[in-house]
Amino acid sequence: MKTKPIVKKLNFEPNLKDYQKTYDSFSYFDEAKKFENLPDGGFNAAYTVCDVNAQNFRKNKVALYWEGEEGEEIKLTFQELSLLSNKVGNLLKNLEVGRGDRVFLFLPRIPELYFCFLGILKIGAIAGTLFSAFGPQALEDRLKNSDAKILITTPQLYPRVQKIKQNLPNLKTVILIDEENRTAFMKEAKLKKPGKNSYTWFYPLMEKALEKLHLASMKPTDPAFMLYTSGTTGKPKGVVHQHKALLHECISARYVLDIKDTDVYWCTADPGWVTGIAYEILGTWCIGSSTLVYGGRFDPAKWYDLIQEYKVTVWYTAPTAIRMLAASGTELVKKYDLSSLRHLASVGEPLNPEAVNWGQKAFGLPFHDNYWQTETGGIVIANYPSLDIKPGSMGKPVPGIKAEVINNQGQPVGPYKEGNLALKPGWPSMMLKIWRRPEKYQSYFLKNWYLTGDKAFKDEDGYFWFISRADDVIKTSGERVGPFEVESALVSHPKIIEAGVIGKPDPLRGELIKAFVTLKKGEKPSEKLKEEIQTYVKKHLAGHAYPREIEFTDKLPKTRSGKIMRRLLKAKELGLPLGDTSTLEDY
């Protein structure tokens, strides 16, 4: 490709020293042998992640450095993480939660999110996470489809749950985290009494729960956690991952993020999304590194301050954040001592060469782009410390992953030819299933390939280059948004009759959400109405999934069967050729 490769001179020894040699000789079977199983021979990802470390020389090592928006600080050692998650396991057992039951966490980035997640896995239940920006509609869709039995949330987020609780007959208990009792609990001080019946408080239950837990002995293929993600059509789908996903998450954390147990690692993602689970809880703790979690909002000065204060060595973030940091200037960077940084990585949306190079300029280190999806459960294509970076490329397949660019018949296309980015099924973190939608799961496969839904090409050196989504899924600030969900929220507005939603290229956010809206008879378009609609979507669906741009239109392009043709809306918006319009009804 045209971009000049970045040839690096490393002043450290990376975990992956010789990419090709490791790739060629790699075997999951050999890797699995290195994992410590439960004493009875069963497997439980949460055991490997925290109990093993709590029993070895890392017992008193800090696993979690947490800092809240107000500067509050909490440190949890591996032993504390293990005991707290044991207690969560018992707390849930006391509520009759068993294997396979779904327990959802609707929480901001607070310490409880992390040890509750592990506690759920420990008893063989399935953990689900919900992004804290979700509104009642998004919550209802996910909690209903999963038939969640328990929801753990905060008093601040609870009002959104209250609005939909009557529609969720299988939601047995809502537990609210009483943060004010956290410190007291940790010091074993007196605790408040449980609240009224529509919910119950967390710490009084924790007080009653035992510290000793009999861990569920799972098969590696048993479900461990699930995340809802969006496609082009229909409601979000529940992607279920198995306990053995940990294997690939740990290997990729080691090779791609270059995690060593001496690292202080900061992943800026939220566990409401898959990155925060795979590389904030599972893969990286498994290696025994210390993880920093910042509960506050994005703020360039604060972010640099955190790196300086905690002496962060490995930093994993996203292109939109990098572009925002770049916009805040290199001068700001120079005010901080960021010399602890060793390796920078990025994921979630295309990382433009300018952003890679800005890392080099500002931190003396380039950002290493990597690629994966909720469904792949872990990084599948990446740039590595020991390989030259071609800025703009996602890099090469992770050891254990066979990636290819194929045509619609399932045949590999040659170098530089655009095609479907596909993977050979069978890696351990490949989704186990789509919750209650086997036909959806099947739709991911073509012949013997797993289809990512992305278009890409490969160059002559085996580097993969992202081109675009093959479908209408929107990536805004790295977050995946399904147009159908936004359209459904829009048409539930009393003044809207129809809506079509697209992702429009945006230099900062990658894409922004644009909605084309047809109003009901008698309703007048206005700027005020646009704002009203935006607020409505933010409140009902999610804070991050509202259309930043709205265009009122009298008619939307539709197929003769009545399906809105988003492809045409996008082509018109971008001034591109309209392509095949033979199925278009009169427009």
Q: Name the site residues for ligand PRX (rule: CB under 6 A).
A: 229, 273-275, 347-351, 369-374, 394, 452-454, 466, 469, 475, 480
CB of 318 to ligand PRX, least distance (A): 9
Which CB, 394 or 502, lies closer to ligand PRX?
394
- Our measurement of the distance from residue 296's CA atom to the centroid of its chain's CA atoms, rounded to an integer in Å, reads 17
Which CB, 78 or 466, lies closer to ligand PRX?
466
Q: How far is CA 240 from CA 224, 284, 528, in A?
A: 7, 20, 42
Which CB, 23 or 273, lies closer to ligand PRX?
273
Which CB, 178 or 511, lies closer to ligand PRX?
511
Which CB, 44 or 229, lies closer to ligand PRX?
229
Which CB, 173 or 275, lies closer to ligand PRX?
275
- Tell me which amino acid residue 158 is: Y
Distance from C-alpha of 334 to C-alpha of 2, rounded to nearest angstrom: 31
CB of 225 to ligand PRX, least distance (A): 14
Which CB, 371 or 435, lies closer to ligand PRX?
371
Which CB, 218 or 394, lies closer to ligand PRX?
394
CB of 278 to ligand PRX, least distance (A): 8
CA angle 347, 263, 260 (to 5 degrees): 85
Which CB, 101 or 349, lies closer to ligand PRX?
349
CB of 229 to ligand PRX, least distance (A): 5
Tokens in use for 94?
């006391």
The continuous run of DSSP H or E covering 454 comes out as strand 449-458
CB of 356 to ligand PRX, least distance (A): 11
Which CB, 83 or 380, lies closer to ligand PRX?
380
CB of 453 to ligand PRX, least distance (A): 6
- Given CA atoms 485, 452, 354, 323 in this order, what sign does their dihedral have? positive
CB of 139 to ligand PRX, least distance (A): 18
Ordered alpha helix ranges (H), 226-352: 245-255, 274-277, 283-287, 300-310, 319-327, 330-334
Closest CA to 197 of 168, 162, 149: 162
Which CB, 173 or 346, lies closer to ligand PRX?
346
- The string of DSSP letters for 357-406 reads HHHHHHHSS-EEEEE--TTT-S--EE--TTS-B-TT--BEEPTT--EEEE
Which CB, 394 or 542, lies closer to ligand PRX?
394
Helices then strands (H, E): number in the chain? 21, 27
CB of 219 to ligand PRX, least distance (A): 26
Which CB, 43 or 450, lies closer to ligand PRX?
450
Cβ atoms of 378 and 249 within 8 Å: the answer is yes
CB of 16 to ligand PRX, least distance (A): 18
CB of 432 to ligand PRX, least distance (A): 16
Beta bridge partners of 229: 237
Judged by DSSP in three states, 186 sits in helix
CA angle 390, 394, 397 (to 5 degrees): 110
Q: What is the DSSP letter of 282?
A: I
Q: Which stretches does DSSP call E strand in 171-263? A: 173-176, 200-201, 223-229, 237-242
CB of 382 to ligand PRX, least distance (A): 9
Bin 500: left if φ > 0, else alpha if -120 < ψ < 50, else beta: beta
Cβ atoms of 116 and 105 within 8 Å: the answer is yes
Distance from C-alpha of 371 to C-alpha of 373, rounded to nearest angstrom: 7
Beta bridge partners of 454: 469
Which CB, 134 or 273, lies closer to ligand PRX?
273
Judged by DSSP in three states, 79 sits in helix
Distance from C-alpha of 462 to C-alpha of 454, rounded to nearest angstrom: 17
Closest CA to 278 of 428, 142, 132: 428
Ordered alpha helix ranges (H), 421-470: 438-442
Tokens in use for 441?
């799961």
CB of 230 to ligand PRX, least distance (A): 8
CB of 439 to ligand PRX, least distance (A): 20
CB of 461 to ligand PRX, least distance (A): 18
CB of 451 to ligand PRX, least distance (A): 10
Q: Rg of the chain over CA atoms, in angstroms?
A: 24
Within a 10 A sphere around the Cβ of 54, how many other Cβ atoms?
A: 22
Which CB, 67 or 349, lies closer to ligand PRX?
349
Distance from C-alpha of 172 to C-alpha of 150, rounded to nearest angstrom: 6
Tokens in use for 494?
């009393």
**Helix-helix angle 483-491:527-540, to 10 degrees:** 120
Cβ atoms of 381 and 369 within 8 Å: the answer is no
